[in-house]
Amino acid sequence: MESTAIELIKIIPSILWLFLIIAVLIIFYRPIEELLKKLGGFEVWGVKLIVVRDSIDAAIELAEKSPQWKVEILPAERDLALKRTKQHINLFKGTQLLWVDDHPENNLNERRMFRQLNMDIDTAKSNEEALNMLNNGNYDLIISDMVRDNNTAAGIEFLQQLRKENKIIPVIFYVGVFDFKGGVPPLAFGITNRPDELLHLTLDVLERKKS
């Protein structure tokens, strides 16, 4: 009996420490959870949404700084796009995207954002290169600029050629300067100069194709 009592006395500190740790976790669960999110990001089905957020923030910052784009995106508008992305994150996985732009360095952040969402992205710098890639691959979506090599109608010409060849692939124009009065070009799915709207338009396409 005496030896048993001694053994119990020895393990009492360990038990007390265990209870203390449990109490701390219960009391500070929310702050600890928020800290871990900030330190390591948070994942949904393997996607680090904190990287997506950082990428769209960088894209928005560049767009807002450009005197030509004249973009102003409120934090609430960005958060709405991210919330919708999180809710429908499964739609992005495996999507084949062709991005047509003669200056691909201008949309590095946007492509990084989509790659983090597990989209497969190919790039083309001209109409000819894009059409050749379309003849040799299957794509779910095309994102294109409008002006290339001083040709202000390059994007429209590409879209018209696409439809002439009976390629029914949704095309979103992602442009620097957006004339709201002109509306969406005929045969295009949408047009925008805002990174948050690009996310929304992409989700609109994927919801129709995959839902």
pTM here? 0.76
DSSP bridge pairs for 144: 100, 173
pLDDT value, residue 13 = 64
Q: What does the domain layout of the chain look like in residue ranges?
A: 2-39, 43-210
pLDDT above 90 covers a percentage of the chain that reads 48
- Name the burial class of residue 138, with classes exposed (0-12), middle (13-18) and buried (19+) by CB atoms within 10 angstroms of its CB: exposed
Go through the chain and tell me how many residues it has: 211
Distances (CA, A) of 74 to 60, 64, 101, 114, 194: 10, 11, 27, 21, 11
* Kind and range of the H or E run holding 132: helix 127-135
pLDDT value, residue 38 = 45
List the chain residues with pLDDT less than 50.
8, 35-41
pLDDT value, residue 39 = 38
As assigned by CATH, the class of the 43-210 domain is alpha beta
DSSP bridge pairs for 172: 143, 190
